[in-house]
C-alpha cells in the first residue's frame, strides 16, 4: 500500500519537537564537555586528561558532527511545522534559535567574534 505524498503525517510537529529536544540536549552535553576542557586546561592545577581524551577521540567528533548536522536538518522540518500549525509561533521560533545556538559550531564562531572584538586573536 503506497502512501500519498500530500497526506499529513500523524503527530508530525510533536515528533519533530521531541527529536529536536533530544538533539539539543546532546548538543548541550557536548558543549559542557568542551567548555570544561577549555576552562580548566591548566594541567598544574586541574587534571582534565580524561575529558581531553574523550574530546580528542574519533567517536566524540563523529557524534559532534552528526548532532550538529542533525540539528540543522531538524530545524528545517521544525520550521515547516511551525508555518503549518500557526500556534505559539514566538515560543517555537525561540526554541529553534536556542537549538541552533547550542551547537558547537555556532559557539566556536561566537567565541571567535568576541575574542576578535577584544583583540585576543
Q: Can you give the pLDDT of all 121 residues of the chain as single tens digits?
A: 566 656 666 777 888 889 999 999 999 999 999 888 888 877 767 788 888 899 999 999 999 999 999 999 999 988 888 887 777 888 888 999 999 999 988 888 888 898 889 887 6
Quickly tell me which residue has 500500500 as its cell.
Answer: 1
The C-alpha cell that represents 78 in the structure block: 521544525
- Rounded to 10 deg, the angle between the 104-117 and 58-85 helix axes is 100
Amino acid at each position: 500500500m503506497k502512501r500519498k505524498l500530500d497526506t499529513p503525517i500523524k503527530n508530525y510537529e510533536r515528533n519533530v519537537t521531541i527529536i529536536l529536544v533530544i538533539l539539543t540536549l546532546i548538543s548541550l552535553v557536548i558543549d559542557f564537555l568542551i567548555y570544561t576542557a577549555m576552562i580548566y586546561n591548566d594541567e598544574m592545577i586541574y587534571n582534565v586528561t580524561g575529558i581531553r581524551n574523550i574530546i580528542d577521540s574519533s567517536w566524540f567528533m563523529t557524534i559532534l558532527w552528526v548532532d550538529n548536522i542533525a540539528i540543522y536538518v531538524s530545524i528545517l522540518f521544525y520550521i515547516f511545522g511551525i508555518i503549518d500549525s500557526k500556534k505559539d509561533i514566538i515560543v517555537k521560533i525561540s526554541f529553534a534559535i536556542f537549538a541552533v545556538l547550542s551547537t558547537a559550531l555556532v559557539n566556536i564562531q561566537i567565541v571567535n567574534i568576541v575574542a576578535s572584538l577584544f583583540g585576543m586573536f
